[in-house]
Chains A and B, each alone.
Chain A
Amino acid sequence: MAPKKPATATGPAATSASTSTTTSSSSSQIDKIAGNIFQHYQKTTPQRTKLIDAFMAFLVIVGGLQFAYCILAGNYPFNAFLSGFSATVGQFVLTASLRIQTTEANKSEFPLVSPERAFADYVVGSLILHFFCINFIN
């Protein structure tokens, strides 16, 4: 404990200097990290998974718009809001399931589910969801 005391005593100035340097460089650091992640994503992600991600982003935007409209303009008729919003949420969940089942890294989790089988399940589930939503919006 004792020998370390001087080091800790000088610590604050040194650390403050080091943090100031890290903050000045952090924005470029974060840019770098983000760029890295993006490049990694671009390189390693299969075409179909990228497609799934784009569709999920689309669903988030559509759902967000509907929710914003509900807050701004009121929720009458409420069943229309529920079915419109839950259509995007349900579609998002189903698409996420498809992504989990078709990712190569998760192959060991679903040894019996082929990508074709996962896609067929997804189509059936989506059709049922659309049927429910259109029926409910009346």
Chain B
Amino acid sequence: MANLRSLLSFLLLALVGAVQAISANGGNRLLVILEDIADKDGYTKFLGDLEGRGFDIVYETPKSESLSLFHLGERSYDHVLLFPTKAKGLGPNLTPSVILQFINADGNILLALSGSTPVPSSLVSALLELDIHLPADRQGLVVDHFNYDTTSASEKHDVLLLPTPGPLRPDYKDFFALSGSDESGVIAFPNGLGQTLGQGALLSPILRAPSTSYSYNPKDESEAIEDLFATGSQLSLVSALQARNSARVTVVGSADMLSDKWFDASVKKVGEKSSVKTLNREFAKAVAGWTFGEIGVLRVNWIEHHLNEAGQSNASNPKIYRIKNDVTYSISLSEYSWDKYIPFTVPENDELQLEFSMLSPFHRLKLNPIISSEDSTTYSVSFKLPDQHGIFNFLVNYKRPFFNNVFEKNTVSVRHFAHDEWPRSFVISGAWPWIAGIAATVTGWLGFCALWLYSAPPATGESKKKQ
């Protein structure tokens, strides 16, 4: 009976594992919200790619009665994909507070905007909470008179042609470099709405506008544009936010760039004769994959620390150490990549660090990769504990843009020397003169006592004789 039960639970576990395998930090339930469900025909390639990667897609409109992100306090969906809608509001099921609640409950959101439809005010407020700013009257159009597509937008200049983005900083892993593409890869950004980002550390632009672009209000009829929303690389065309709970929100400025029309479309840059294919499909895959937790998800497999001293027990994860002990700390990390875990490699110029801290770090050490298996890398460091007793933490705090947050804290006590753990005096050569001093005193005393007993005064002898 017990065997059967364990077999059943194992099967259940395996089933859960299979479901979870689609995306590392969430499930596969994807809600797609469109103005009209028929609109999905415009995005068949993009949505087909998502379905092909195992997502279970549910389509809804904002007006739908059955639309609800939560059911009995639990998320009904793991990911939400919002396409532009024309309505000013999104109804009671998608208020800013519901959207933020969804993010707080570890839900991922991919938000597609458009330059031709005003953004619903509920989304504007929700984005403002995340410090992502949109033009004042909820509408804007990014144009660039130097980097536009000459075949489709020779007049309006609103189809931007952009090179594939490089890493934001040299020590970041580049998730959006679009492997398999040649150097002259081009991303088309048609009819898009640019955002500006606040100073928060959680925000990072995936795709910035070129320096010659600007955003204006297309409703403004006047010939001269007076106040611009933003210009140049101030404008973020695709921006990402990773919340502190590692929930991801991505804002794609142009919904059209995800549409079938612009996947593998032929475009021609200004001043060039031959037309090139766009890389929108690969870019959309990377952006959606990152947002829905298919890439850039780190997993801590195990953490181990032990005493690293000859002749002493090296049991794993003891609760207590002594000051000045030699200790080895190891952490095993995996990175999820589309459909499997691969060994996590720290990007070049970056370090995975271990802190040994009590309130403030006493040590901050680089963890070096020692073992690399099929699906994990073990990072390890050996060091001597500080000469300070107390309650310490082994802390790995690895927070980088586009990787989910790794924060692992293991608490240990560090005691002082026990009375019998100090080195004996005769081991320390500096103590030998004083040992000799005691020896001289004791032997001198023994000699004194012997002489004292030997030299009994004659007077007492006489008195004894008298007696």
Contacts and interface: CB of A to CB of B under 8 A. Distances in A.
Interface in A63-92: 63, 65-66, 69, 73-74, 76-77, 79-81, 83-85, 87-88, 91
B-side interface mostly? helix
Interface in A40-77: 46-48, 51-52, 55, 58-59, 62-63, 65-66, 69, 73-74, 76-77
Interface in A88-138: 88, 91, 95, 119, 123, 126, 130, 133-134, 137-138
B14 interface: no
A134 B439 CA distance: 9
The majority secondary structure among interface residues of chain A is helix
Interface residues of B, number: 22
Interface in B426-467: 428, 430-431, 433-435, 437-438, 440-442, 444-445, 448-449, 451-452, 455, 457
Contacts of B448: 51-52, 55, 95
A119 B457 CA distance: 14
Contacts of B449: 123
A66 B436 CA distance: 9
B422 A138 contact: yes
B455 A59 contact: no
A58 B443 CA distance: 12
A51 B447 CA distance: 11
B5 interface: no
A66 B448 CA distance: 20
Given A62-B444, A91-B445, A126-B445, A77 B425 contact: yes
B455 A66 contact: no
Q: What 6 pairs across the A-B complex have the smallest Cβ distances?
A: A84-B434, A80-B431, A84-B437, A80-B434, A66-B437, A55-B448
Interface of A: 46-48, 51-52, 55, 58-59, 62-63, 65-66, 69, 73-74, 76-77, 79-81, 83-85, 87-88, 91, 95, 119, 123, 126, 130, 133-134, 137-138
Interface of B: 422, 424-425, 428, 430-431, 433-435, 437-438, 440-442, 444-445, 448-449, 451-452, 455, 457
Given A46-B457, A59-B444, A84-B434, 12 more contacts: A63-B437, A66-B434, A77-B428, A79-B425, A80-B425, A80-B434, A83-B434, A95-B448, A130-B442, A133-B438, A137-B434, A138-B422
